[in-house]
Amino acid sequence: HSEYSVNMFRALVEAFPTSISALDSSGKIAMHRLCGASGHTDHTEEIFEELLGALKKIGKNGAELRTLQGVLPLHIISGAGHHTANTYRIFTKLLQLFEGSCIVASTMEKQLPMHVLCEAPNHTHFSEKMCSDLITANTDSVRSKDARSRVPLEVLCGSQTLSSSSVEICNQIARAADDSHVTQWLSALQV
């Protein structure tokens, strides 16, 4: 997002204040679209804060608003990929605004934000921090199964875009799950 995006957002909210909570044809609102963008910038974070404020004015907590598929903004930002410092700050704010969001499963896939984070493309250092925060918020999330009976570690191992940060996420999950077999296997990989 750019300064132009921020100005355009402000103009739209001023002209159509109720549009921020209106579902589009795919069952999403502006908050979901913003969280789904990858490579969040300072401008994205600025729009996020203004969007939270505008939603609060109409009595809504932006962190609790689900898509028609039952997906929270925390799920969406966790799966966006290319996580930046701005992504991490938005993620942290969402987690603070709806503390129980880390244990909310999406309606269809029954995935927690931890599953979605593991599916995200191109993990970064900030993805590692997000994983750590999700584990801190709910250690049991590393053992939770989705609708396809997969735990987050299985989801991660099925990813097509693994990085050194993906390996660190794998380590975090294995330690939290207290899975000595996986921990030994990962130790052998790190030479």
Query: How do residues 69-101 score in pLDDT, each as one tens digit?
Result: 899 999 999 999 999 999 999 999 999 999 899
Whether the CB-CB separation of 179 and 143 falls below 8 Å is answered with: no
With 0-12 / 13-18 / 19 or more C-beta atoms within 10 angstroms meaning exposed / middle / buried, residue 79 is: buried
Give mean pLDDT, residues 122-142.
96
In 3D space, the residue among 63, 151, 132, 66 whose CA is nearest the CA of residue 99 turns out to be 63
pTM: 0.90
In 3D space, the residue among 176, 170, 140, 175 whose CA is nearest the CA of residue 156 turns out to be 170
* Both structure tokens of 94: 């969402």
Is 5's pLDDT higher than 90? no
CA distance 165 to 190: 13
Give mean pLDDT, residues 102-122.
94
Q: What is the pLDDT of residue 117?
A: 97
Is 64's pLDDT higher than 90? yes
Q: What is the pLDDT of residue 191?
A: 39
Whether the CB-CB separation of 124 and 78 falls below 8 Å is answered with: no
Q: Can you give the length of the chain in residues?
A: 191
- The phi and psi torsions of 3 (rounded to 5 degrees) equal -60, -35
* Both structure tokens of 9: 């957002």
Is 138's pLDDT higher than 50? yes
